[in-house]
Homo-oligomer: A and B are copies of this chain.
Amino acid sequence: MQPLRFTGRTLEVLDQTQLPEHEIWETCDTYEGVAEAIEKMKVRGAPAIGATAAYGIAIGAQQGSELSKAEFLPFLAGVCERLAKTRPTAVNLFWAIKRMRGLIEANAELEVAQLTELILAEANLIAEEDVRLNKQMGQHGLPYIPDNARILTHCNTGSLATVDYGTALGVIRAAHEAGKNVTVYADETRPYLQGARLTAFELHRDNIPVTVVTDSMAGYLMQQGMVDLVIVGADRITANGDAANKIGTYSLAVLAKHHGIPFYVAAPMSTVDYELETGASIEIEQRSADEVVFIGGKRMAPEGVPALHPAFDVTPHELITAIITDRGAVERPDTDRMAKLK
């Protein structure tokens, strides 16, 4: 199940806030609509956000097709700016926008219609690449997944978080396809429950055995010897190998370290931000407290009580056994070893 369908003029987005109960496709026919779909987490997952933003720029370009050449370039700059403001942490968003800006600059001499066509082709290319790179990542990850591995994962890093196949779930999928008998514990991943709602949904549909656990059960599972490895995705990886990912990931990394369990991060190279030296510079998105306090529309904590909602945390590279990318895996990641992938 792919989360995006580009029709050439509009982008259809599977509203992931409604899954698995309802399968609702929302049509975005303006770049503003695309931006809002990202902000409201109807589409989520770093690679999927990157591709969605690229399509957002393509739709924006089409919206500007009646503009003069002189008006078109500033208009496109505004489109890019709007999309860049949707979510701050996942770097794939900025990576995709930067790639589009580069394309626009390099072809600034072209007529509006021709440039629009190029932009559209580039958005399709980004989406196609994502699937190919995920499959490569799956192959690079294979050696780290032993037969009969019992794998703990967090959030959703599968088809729904990418254009297709997935990052960490792509590695699990590759191991399953290679005939390894893997079983998965899916952290439910509060507050959005991407693990219970999306990861369980994807894996169950693909007949990969999956069991849902609350985030608080991870330590217990490891203590009981029920977890052979942890694999997660990333929203941004810095030059030294620090990795921002869904809130709760850092806790898992500390727990894995304490129990001597390998902890892997799987992400495409578009997630690596060589411009930031360490994870300390990553901006952590602080989302609405209501997203913590309300579950399924029902208020759980009493009125007047505040809640925190950092959407991500940063796992320092010392806690990461290997970062698995489409260009290969980096064991014991640090600045030097990460630089070799560049």
Contact = CB atoms under 8 A, between A and B. Distances in A.
| This chain: copies in complex | 2
A298 interface: yes
Interface string A279-319: 00000000001001101101111101111101001100000
A306 B197 contact: no
A33 interface: no
A217 B248 CA distance: 6
Contacts of A201: 301-302, 305
Contact of A204 (B21, B304, B308): B304
A196 B289 CA distance: 12
Interface in A2-41: 20-21
A217 B308 contact: yes
Given A201-B302, A204-B302, A302-B20, A308 B211 contact: yes
B216 A251 contact: yes
Given A219-B254, A302-B204, A212 B293 contact: yes
A85 interface: no
Given A220-B313, A250-B219, A254-B254, A301 B196 contact: yes
Interface of A: 20-21, 185, 187-191, 193, 196-197, 200-201, 204, 210-221, 223, 247-248, 250-251, 254-255, 257-258, 289, 292-293, 295-296, 298-302, 304-308, 310, 313-314
